[in-house]
Structure 1
């Protein structure tokens, strides 16, 4: 097989490793491309192409993550991973681990780990690499990698909620949620939310948003129930999609451009967290991006035209 053929065969795996380390589609794609350039520029063929490329993309991603962490500390408002509609890498033997590790909840938990801990945890626990392969990928001894894995597991288990809801159950709950959302049915929304539900928005200071964080079923239902009927008035539609392996939706303007995404975490028959990404820098991989500021001005005009209560 040619170099190009070998690389393309491994590309889905390389992207999946890079995305889980970085939480960014664009940065993961750049890391994979850089791995290709190094592979293509190598004068000698590696003994194992998979080992060479996995090691290369892991080390590139670790370096990128170290610099990205500085930017995330200065980020305006809550930082959320870049939405991913579908994971290109499929492995039936690791389906549960792959699905769990790509959720926004898991990616945010991974932010607690150091870059090395994150890489070791993902390569071993999610992608089932042997400790010799993990050690080669991160440039540490096997003994050091075992210690890194123990620390990583401890951090992950301390904060990991188990989203064990059946897929059909999640989708049914999401359908009811988005129906109530479009209708502005505050009571219907509240019935679907956990008592301590959190609504988290990521605008990065580059787009208007409802709020950084809203907590509590009554508060979240009231905010959503007041806002989304206005979006319908200005011809914003919700396209149900699975995002990061969880039920969600892509909001599009009247021209089909992407305004924002919503992702739901479901546990025990209730929605635990709603995460919205409206930062335009994180939406470009989903299609042309809408002008959120222009839509916000339309929303204000639509609100002024609404009849006042009791009128």
Structure 2
């Protein structure tokens, strides 16, 4: 989303806009990790631009100023969002992110792990200030002085925020030890077996205690409570997915939140849902599907998931 506006008495509007656009990937990546929402992160970035454009004084470090500003905006948004999440119908997952715009080759693996569905769900345990401090320090390597400016607390208080955040995250913090190529290869085999209805092939790829869970928000078909165990998960998948493909549906493998995943499309190309896979120890541990249409619009036009399901059910054997 390009910046809007860009004028005032504080210097060249063009140069200020260019500085902002150079930092936009970082700002979005900070906001998304704090908020877990693509739409809210984009809005936070836009609000940050409006504040930057309106500022009369030229900051000595645009990176520090903008990072602090987007963090403060995101904290405020998160505080109101948490109330809505408490009232959410069923499991809540972050909005799927197909590509993280911020790149840092030296921290590529850490950045990918920190944006995974598993990591973002763990971050939900934290208070808004803990979450912001943790993201800035542990993910992006900000100094405590910069974090203090961003969250409006002293450096010592920020150190305590990070300590508490680490403790709350605990042993649940994900560790994706397999390299990216191995995970991608396993996902390719998984989706091929899925489309072909290969029950035995699927079971070989699933952990014994694999979980299949969905986020519909009450607005799309939902597996009540999800499914657990390799036998049950493979059975339900091979029952419904091959007919979906035969009816013209498509499974497009694609990284989701830095991990293997796929976009499921109806015959007209509209998005039905998005799947993200947790892979550990050479097996798929968790399959998370986002079917809530409100969380899929940034990917493309969204299908009527109920209509797609009913069409699939009509083709199942008696």
- 1:153-168 residue pairs with structure 2 within 5 A? 153-168=166-181
Q: 1:215 to 1:170 in 2, by over 3 A?
A: same
SS of the residue aligned with 1:274? strand
Structure 1 partner of 2:251: 238
Question: Which stretches of structure 1, 4 residues or longer, exceed 4 Å deviation after superposition?
Answer: none
1:280 aligns with 2:283: no
Cα pair 2:213 2:223 within 8 Å, conserved: no
Deviations, residues 92-113 of structure 1 (Å, cap 9, x unaligned):
2222221110111111111111
Structure 1: state its 5+ residue gaps.
none
Structure 2 CA distance, aligned partners of 1:97 and 1:240?
A: 22
Structure 2 partner of 1:105: 118
SS of the residue aligned with 2:212? strand
Match of 2:311 among 285, 295, 298: 298
Structure 2 CA distance, aligned partners of 1:140 and 1:96?
A: 30
Q: Normalising to structure 2: TM-score of the pair? A: 0.93
Return 163-172 or 23-32, whichever deviates more. Answer: 163-172
Cα pair 1:198 1:220 within 8 Å, conserved: yes
Q: Normalising to structure 1: TM-score of the pair? A: 0.95
- 1:219-238 residue pairs with structure 2 within 5 A? 219-238=232-251
Cα drift, residue 176 of structure 1:
1.1
Structure 1 CA distance, aligned partners of 2:283 and 2:249?
A: 26
Structure 2 partner of 1:128: 141
1:8 aligns with 2:29: no
> RMSD of the TM alignment (CA)?
1.2
Structure 2 CA distance, aligned partners of 1:71 and 1:3?
A: 35
Structure 2 partner of 1:171: 184
> How many pairs were matched up?
305
Cα pair 1:97 1:125 within 8 Å, conserved: no
Cα pair 2:207 2:285 within 8 Å, conserved: yes
Structure 1 partner of 2:281: 268
